[in-house]
């Protein structure tokens, strides 16, 4: 089983997504597990504050190291096969190849644990990833408000590659000729006085021609 441990101040921001549809089913079927750890539960601060002003000055607050380290420690326990990950726009660009590598690691070990640290504000104190030897990942060349969406992206992209998570192995996009342009009923869509038809070739039953059309129309 692949166990995701998400360290975040805002678990509610992604918990619904992670328990819906394919990912919800993957949890029920014990292909994956998803647990949340809130650093606020690991601080001694009476107001449960976990951020503080940055050394060197500047706007924005930095997330203090100790509560994140304690939360990471709680997630890791005495487990084996643990990998730490954190999110930053300057990290390694996450892609399908990395997703497959993690899916393979999980498939090849009885229990594999990915502990993901989600930043907020100006980010997490830099000593945390250093101490945990956490790998930095970015999900794209833009800045988000937090690491929760990146965590959900990794959970989704990796989980769908685990055997048995998608009904059919061919559902994984790169294992077949897939097009971004897909159609379903009705054959002729009438919308605001105009008619929009499904491409004839997709109704032809000629698989070679359909594949060729999909190759030629694989992207918008």
Q: Spell out, one character per residue from 134 to 173, where the chain touches ligand SAM: x when CB under 6 A holds, - when not.
A: ----xxx-xxxxxx--x-----------------------
16 lies in the site for ligand SAM, by CB under 6 A: no
Candidates 98, 122, 131, 177: give the one binding ligand SAM (CB under 6 A): 122
- Closest approach, Cβ 153 to ligand SAM, in A, equals 9
CA distances from 179 to 75, 169, 187 (A): 40, 17, 18
Question: DSSP readout, 160-189?
Answer: TTSTTTSSSGGGSGGGS---S----S-SEE
Rounded to a whole number of angstroms, the minimum distance from the CB of residue 55 to ligand SAM is: 14
Contacts of 74 (CB under 8 A, 6+ apart): 37, 42
CA nearest to 200, candidates 209, 191, 189: 209
Q: Is 89 in the site for ligand SAM (CB under 6 A)?
A: yes
Kindly tell me which of 102 and 213 has the beta carbon lying closer to ligand SAM. Answer: 102
DSSP letter string, 72-131 = HHHHHTT-SSEEEEEEEEEEEEP-HHHHHHHHHHHHTSS-EEEEEEPPBTT-B-THHHHH
For residue 102, which of 87, 115, 88 has the smallest C-alpha distance?
A: 115
Nearer to ligand SAM, 32 or 116 (CB): 116
Residue 69 CB partners (closer than 8 Å, separation 6+):
128, 131, 132
Q: 11, 39, 123, 129: which one contacts ligand SAM (CB under 6 A)? A: 123
Nearest to 155 by CA among 24, 50, 67: 24
Given the rule CB under 6 A, which of 66-74, 85-93, 102-110, 163-171 is the region that contacts ligand SAM? 85-93
Span from 15-23, 45-53, 77-85, 133-141 in contact with ligand SAM (CB under 6 A): 133-141
Residue 129 engages ligand SAM in binding (rule: CB under 6 A):
no
State yes or no: residue 90 binds ligand SAM (CB under 6 A).
yes
Strand (E) or helix (H) holding 13: helix 12-18
Q: Of the two residues 121 and 183, which places its CB atom closer to ligand SAM in the complex?
A: 121
Look-up: residue for tokens 């997330």? Answer: 63
Q: How many residues bind ligand SAM (CB under 6 A)?
A: 19
Residue number of the CB closest to ligand SAM reads 119
* 11 touches ligand SAM (CB under 6 A): no
Binding residues for ligand SAM, per CB under 6 A? 87-90, 118-120, 122-123, 138-140, 142-147, 150
């Amino acid at each position: 089983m692949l166990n995701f441990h998400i360290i975040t101040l805002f678990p509610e921001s992604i918990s619904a997504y992670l328990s819906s549809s394919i990912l919800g089913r993957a949890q029920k079927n014990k292909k994956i597990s998803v647990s949340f750890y809130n650093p606020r539960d690991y601080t001694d601060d009476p107001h449960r504050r976990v951020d503080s002003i940055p050394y060197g000055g500047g706007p924005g607050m930095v997330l203090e190291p100790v509560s994140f380290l304690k939360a990471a420690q709680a997630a890791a326990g005495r487990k084996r096969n643990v990998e730490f990950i954190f999110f930053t726009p300057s990290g390694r660009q996450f892609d399908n190849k990395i997703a497959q590598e993690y899916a393979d690691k999980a498939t090849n070990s009885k229990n594999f644990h990915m502990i993901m640290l989600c930043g907020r504000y100006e980010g997490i104190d830099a000593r945390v990833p250093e101490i945990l030897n956490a790998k930095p990942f970015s999900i794209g060349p833009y800045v988000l408000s937090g690491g929760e969406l990146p965590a959900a992206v990794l959970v989704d992209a990796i989980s769908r590659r685990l055997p048995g998570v998608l009904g059919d192995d061919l559902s994984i996009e790169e294992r077949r000729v897939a097009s971004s342009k897909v159609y379903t009923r009705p054959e002729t869509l009438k919308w605001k006085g105009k008619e929009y038809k499904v491409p004839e070739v997709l109704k032809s039953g000629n698989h070679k021609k359909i594949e060729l059309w999909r190759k030629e129309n694989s992207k918008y």
